[in-house]
């Protein structure tokens, strides 16, 4: 179960202790060591967080936080690591993994999207770490529109780092990749993509089919999902209200469409997150990456002289079937 924490890091900053694992061979027999595994314990509570492989290297969340702040300072020269503070925290109840968004105390990006037209954005960095043997350390750059806190998470390699906990000297490897990365390119890339969307017309009736496909919103199946149909109807109402809000602000444009998609990705309650195979909640992270994937592809297409919006919508399902998209579907 995922829950949000808007203040305090204490719940995920607990010390982790590594313990040997033994196999119980039955009454009257000595336990045998399971040398290929070890247990990770919350040292404060004594609770077993997970059983991992013996090669698993523990990267404490405190060290992950330090590395993420270092990455922020590398990406935005002139800022200091301690100026990047936690904005939101997500973690399961046992603290076996976490996702933390860091934002700068003062940094704002005043982007001109068209002559005389500006919009205000703030960058954030999301790092993910875990003690569960499945969650690698990963770091992503994202951007939020200040007026509504709509966010997207940049998906490309220049803007992300992922390192397995089986990596030797994991902290040193993460720092090496951060220093090698070209994070400084990210803000300009996002700004250029948003500029292409500004003022580009998109008929109001095409908003809903594009939103549904990009965010993998699927209706409940015809069998065994009667209880979900009222929620599906509620979700359609939510999408219409969000669409109306941004069409009113920006007109029926691609920029309005981007805000609809990013608003739903950022703020959609988990019980509305329909997916391809039923009614399974999706993470905010995966939805916000889908926004960035769509933004990249769509901004390229609208710049083509032969671009046809009707053809784009007709073929969108094929684009969303590519391996890159499937990784978040």
Read off the pLDDT band of 65 (50, 70, 90): very high
Q: Are 152 and 142 in contact (CB under 8 A)?
A: yes
Residue 316 has pLDDT above 60, yes or no: yes
Read off the pLDDT band of 286 (50, 70, 90): confident
State the pLDDT at residue 39. 95
DSSP per position, 276-325: TTBS----HHHHHHHHHHHHHHHHHHHTSTT--HHHHHHHHHHHTTSHHH
- Out of 86-90, 275-279, 325-329, the most confident range is 86-90
Residue 295 has pLDDT above 90, yes or no: yes
State the pLDDT at residue 23. 87
Give the C-alpha separation, 311 to 294, whole Å. 16
Residues 6+ apart with CB under 8 A from 176: none
Q: Are 257 and 210 in contact (CB under 8 A)?
A: yes
- Polymer length in residues for the chain: 329
State the pLDDT at residue 198. 94
Three-state secondary-structure class, residue 140? strand
Report the share of the chain in percent with pLDDT over 70. 89
| Closest listed residue to residue 190, CA positions, set 239, 147, 140, 138 | 140
Q: Are 69 and 127 in contact (CB under 8 A)?
A: no
Strands (DSSP E) found in the chain:
2-5, 16-23, 32-42, 48-53, 84-92, 97-104, 109-114, 117-130, 137-145, 150-153, 160-163
The average confidence (pLDDT) of the chain is 87
| Closest listed residue to residue 278, CA positions, set 205, 319, 328, 217 | 217
pLDDT (tens digit per residue) in 74-97: 889 899 999 999 988 888 878 889
Give the C-alpha separation, 170 to 188, whole Å. 30
Lowest average pLDDT, out of 115-124, 148-157, 199-208, goes to: 148-157
Residues 6+ apart with CB under 8 A from 240: 208
Q: Are 143 and 122 in contact (CB under 8 A)?
A: yes
pLDDT (tens digit per residue) in 5-28: 444 577 889 999 999 999 888 877
Three-state secondary-structure class, residue 51? strand
Residue 218 has pLDDT above 70, yes or no: yes
| Closest listed residue to residue 118, CA positions, set 143, 142, 146 | 146
User: Half-sphere exposure of 135 toward its Cβ, with a 13 Å CA cutoff?
Assistant: 22
Residue 327 has pLDDT above 80, yes or no: no
Residue 2 has pLDDT above 70, yes or no: no
pLDDT (tens digit per residue) in 222-236: 665 666 778 888 889
pLDDT average, residue stretch 133-157: 89
Read off the pLDDT band of 275 (50, 70, 90): low
């Amino acid at each position: 179960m995922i829950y949000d924490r808007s203040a305090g890091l204490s719940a995920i900053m607990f010390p982790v202790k590594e313990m040997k694992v033994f196999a119980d061979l039955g009454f009257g027999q000595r336990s045998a060591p399971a040398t290929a595994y070890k247990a990770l314990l919350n040292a404060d509570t004594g609770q077993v967080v997970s059983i991992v492989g013996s090669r698993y290297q523990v990267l404490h969340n405190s060290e992950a936080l330090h590395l993420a702040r270092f990455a922020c300072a590398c990406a935005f020269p002139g800022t200091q690591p301690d100026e990047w503070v936690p904005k939101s925290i997500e973690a399961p109840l046992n603290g076996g993994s976490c996702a933390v968004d860091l934002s700068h105390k003062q940094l704002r990006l005043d982007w001109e999207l068209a002559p005389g037209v500006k919009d205000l954005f703030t960058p954030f960095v999301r790092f993910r770490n875990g003690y569960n043997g499945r969650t690698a350390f990963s770091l992503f750059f994202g951007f939020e529109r200040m007026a509504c806190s709509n966010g997207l998470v940049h998906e490309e390699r220049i803007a992300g780092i992922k390192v397995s906990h089986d990596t030797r000297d994991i902290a040193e490897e993460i720092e090496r990749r951060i220093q090698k990365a070209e994070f400084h390119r990210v803000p300009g890339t996002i700004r250029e993509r948003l500029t292409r969307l500004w003022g580009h017309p998109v008929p109001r009736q095409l908003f809903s089919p594009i939103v549904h496909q990009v965010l993998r919103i699927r209706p409940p199946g015809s069998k065994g999902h009667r209880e979900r149909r009222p929620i599906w109807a509620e979700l359609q109402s939510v999408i219409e209200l969000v669409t109306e809000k941004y069409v009113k602000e920006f007109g029926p444009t691609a920029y309005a469409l981007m805000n609809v998609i990013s608003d739903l990705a950022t703020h959609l309650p988990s019980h509305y997150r329909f997916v391809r195979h039923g009614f399974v909640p999706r993470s905010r992270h995966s939805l916000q990456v889908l926004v960035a994937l769509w933004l990249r592809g769509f901004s390229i297409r609208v710049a083509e002289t032969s671009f046809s919006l009707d053809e784009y919508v007709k073929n969108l399902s094929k684009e969303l079937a590519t391996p890159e998209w499937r990784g978040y579907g």
